Structure 1
Amino acid sequence: MELTRFLAALAVILPLAYSAPTETVTRLHPEILAAMKRDLGLDTEQATARVARELQATDVIDQLRNSVGAQFAGAWVADDGNTINVGVTDESLTAEVTAAGATPVVLANSFTKLEEAKLALDNLEIDQASVLDTTSASSGIAAYYVDVVANKLVLEALADSTAHAEELAAQVGLTASEFEVRVVDSLPTTFATVTGGDAYYINRSARCSIGFSVTTGFVSAGHCGSVGASATTPGGESLGTFSGSVFPGSADMSFIRTVSGTTLRGYINNYSGGSLPVSGSTASAVGASICRSGSTTGVHCGTVRALGVTVSYSQGRVTGLTQTSVCAEPGDSGGSYYSGAQAQGVTSGGSGDCTSGGTTFFQPVNEILSTYGLTLVRA
């Protein structure tokens, strides 16, 4: 299979563009629309309006976060996709929020305080034997993040680790009203696998999904391969070499520099015989609709649940991920997350599957681009 055709139909597993949209969304690609109808229960008009509103929400939230300063308490898009909620700790700022086109919500805890507590957890030398015991079905801390809707730092833990989670929250200075421990059924895992499929292979063994095309190659998840590892097509043809990779730690990201002559296109594989265009990479807010494309399960949609999440994998903690309600399965790792035609990130890991549903995390794509000095290929 020639590299041009392979990357046109496969590397396009994710949409990614490193710029803000320049025009209002008036329609969605039919494949994106179909996935949003199936997974979010929206009709054509509702889906189009929601994506346009979510793009607008990004600018409104950034504006208010800067103007209200230390009194900012987080922001999110409501379940209906129409309302932009902005939290403030000072009631006198509600008029300013309303004037900007958002709905003010007076909250007790500032986003800065909760975020600082989360960063303090990241810097703790946590005993992995007690925090992440992969041999036990009931102990371990899965993830922690600022839940802007609950206005608390949330620690997700298995049943036998709730007391440990409470101790960690107290250790970083949080009171009972500033954090919440939520019990989860399982620990997250990365989605790399050694089974076959229409994707790319690392050292001719493990399989992952190609991320977004950049002018010198493509991006994917860091856990898929380390620097120097080879990337090949399912047919064994050389795609390139991992030139950058981070996992675990501050990210789950990689950059694969492709061989000379490779054609790279700004599209996402829709796994229905076509492709989806990528026009930018404006990051979506909490509550926004989002879709994912991967080589195992194809296209699925859901919503953004939390930003800046720290996830505990068996290999170690990873900071700065985004949590979503979109399902994924082994082999989907590295695949694209997108909202409308805006690239969001590459699949990292999670729990559950696309039969029963699950929770997944992705590495924001703009961080990958800035870290490696890459330029996204757009349609």
Structure 2
Amino acid sequence: MELTGFLAVLAAFLPIVYGAPTTAASSLHPEILAAMKRDLGLDAEQAHVRVARELKATEVIDELRTLAGNSFGGAWLVDGELNVAVTKESLTSEVAAAGAKALVVSVPLSKLEEAKNAIDNLDIEQTLGKRSDEAASGIAAYYVDVAANKLVLEALADSIAQAAELANKVGLTESEYEVRTVENLPTTFATIRGGDAYLINLGGRCSVGFSVTTGFVSAGHCGTVGATASTTAGATIGTFAGSVFPGNGDYSFIRGSTGNTYTGRINNYNGGTLPVSGSTAAATGASICRSGSTTGVFCGTVRSLGATVSYAQGRVTGLTQTSVCAEPGDSGGSFYSGAQAQGVTSGGSGNCNSGGTTYFQPVNEILSAYGLTLVRG
């Protein structure tokens, strides 16, 4: 299908994407609305419209990326409005006609993604000439910032030069990457400070992510294969049947014990529950919320997709970076956009008093990896 031909099809989407909310999006749970009002400054009508736009914008982004091919520069949302970047001026009129703001950039998204993947395949310590007994490389995370049209590397102050060296190593010029200084390396949230959903081997605690028909999913750093999951009262509820961490994810599947009931709801840690109706992935810039046992419900926005994070235990690829805060005890908990499941809390930095950055493992990758079916409520 030609891009111009796609516009006729897209016209059917525009009233939803840029107009009134859909029926599905206009039924947001009151707890979600309250959190979005507190953290994003949105009233009920604004929240409904924004979630509807974001949900449909995901489809539009996928179509435009396919049709623009190597000229696609990325797409992101700003307060619910869609921005689409292309490397060819000739495509801007079609993008604008689709209802999105068109921008011309110099670097194709594919080049930045390839550079990021190339770093994933490097042994960073060896590449930078570090000894095995030294601390972590000082590279906190790296990801493609589509709005900046650059590969961003976050590093401690004394590792700025090393971060630039990595970018140069994979063939990027100074105009194609940016090194940003961070004060701390990210950590996982496995150390629990409050009440939680389940215990691992009657010791450490983590949060349930989402129910599946045969158990539930959570963070991989919470437990290894064979570990037992139990309630805080000590009753066994399942066994870790799969766990990935570090490496190409931070996720686990806990196969439930006989007799358990798993519902498509999220504990709001305030005496109620929130519904899960699907798992459509949110775009960069979309609003997103997190529910965890230590801090409850907090909201923010998606900052980047496919980020690689350097934890003390090793690098983890494929995480989503957000502006939502989290604290120890929130690990494995639910990330969601509206009623759409997004992922399970992995780790980050900061806290919910001063703010912070948190990463989550996308839930669709977990479902695909283990052939699981999400329970909907």
Kindly indicate whether the alpha-carbon contact (under 8 Å) linking 2:84 and 2:103 is maintained by their aligned counterparts in 1: yes
Query: Residue 129 of structure 1: CA displacement?
Result: 10
The correspondence for 1:190, drawn from 185, 188, 194, is 188
Cα distance in structure 1, aligned partners of 2:61 and 2:124? 34
2:49 matches 1:49: yes
One-letter code of the match for 2:362? P
SS in structure 2 opposite 1:234?
coil
2:266 matches 1:286: no
One-letter code of the match for 1:99? A
Moved segments of 4+, more than 4 Å:
128-139
Matched with 1:301 is 299
The correspondence for 1:313, drawn from 306, 311, 314, is 311
Cα distance in structure 2, aligned partners of 1:289 and 1:63? 21
Matched with 2:63 is 63
| Structure 1 gap ranges (5+) | 1-21
Query: Residue 23 of structure 1: CA displacement?
Result: 5.1
Matched with 1:162 is 160
SS in structure 2 opposite 1:26?
helix
Cα distance in structure 1, aligned partners of 2:249 and 2:121? 15
2:204 matches 1:206: yes
Cα distance in structure 2, aligned partners of 1:281 and 1:302? 18
Query: Residue 27 of structure 1: CA displacement?
Result: 3.0
In the TM superposition, what whole-angstrom CA distance separates every residue of 1:264-317 from its partner, at most 9, and x where no partner exists? 000001111110000011100111000000111110000000000000000000
In the TM superposition, what whole-angstrom CA distance separates every residue of 1:126-172 from its partner, at most 9, and x where no partner exists? 11796999999997110000000000000000000000001000000
Query: Residue 101 of structure 1: CA displacement?
Result: 2.3
Cα distance in structure 2, aligned partners of 1:107 and 1:266? 42
SS in structure 2 opposite 1:355?
coil
2:243 matches 1:239: no
Distance 1:123 1:129, change over 3 A: closer
Cα distance in structure 2, aligned partners of 1:31 and 1:135? 47
Query: Residue 99 of structure 1: CA displacement?
Result: 2.5
In the TM superposition, what whole-angstrom CA distance separates every residue of 1:310-364 from its partner, at most 9, and x where no partner exists? 0000000000000000000111110000000000000000000111110000000
Kindly indicate whether the alpha-carbon contact (under 8 Å) linking 1:141 and 1:165 is maintained by their aligned counterparts in 2: yes
One-letter code of the match for 1:49? V
Matched with 1:13 is none
RMSD, aligned α-carbons: 2.0
After TM superposition, the score normalised by the length of structure 1 is: 0.91
- The aligned runs of 1:201-350 (5 Å cut-off) are 201-350=199-348
Cα distance in structure 1, aligned partners of 2:131 and 2:31? 41
In the TM superposition, what whole-angstrom CA distance separates every residue of 1:45-75 from its partner, at most 9, and x where no partner exists? 1111111110011011011001100000000
Cα distance in structure 1, aligned partners of 2:337 and 2:118? 31
Corresponding residue pairs, total = 357
Matched with 1:19 is none
Kindly indicate whether the alpha-carbon contact (under 8 Å) linking 1:64 and 1:100 is maintained by their aligned counterparts in 2: no
Kindly indicate whether the alpha-carbon contact (under 8 Å) linking 1:282 and 1:342 is maintained by their aligned counterparts in 2: yes
Distance 1:27 1:194, change over 3 A: closer
Query: Residue 245 of structure 1: CA displacement?
Result: 0.4
In the TM superposition, what whole-angstrom CA distance separates every residue of 1:215-264 from its partner, at most 9, and x where no partner exists? 00000000000000000100000011000000000000000001001000
- The aligned runs of 1:67-78 (5 Å cut-off) are 67-78=67-78
Distance 1:188 1:257, change over 3 A: same
Kindly indicate whether the alpha-carbon contact (under 8 Å) linking 2:268 and 2:274 is maintained by their aligned counterparts in 1: yes
2:29 matches 1:29: yes
- Which deviates more from structure 2 when the two are superposed, residues 283-292 or residues 25-34? 25-34
Structure with the larger RCO, 1 or 2 (CA within 8 Å, 6+ apart)? 1
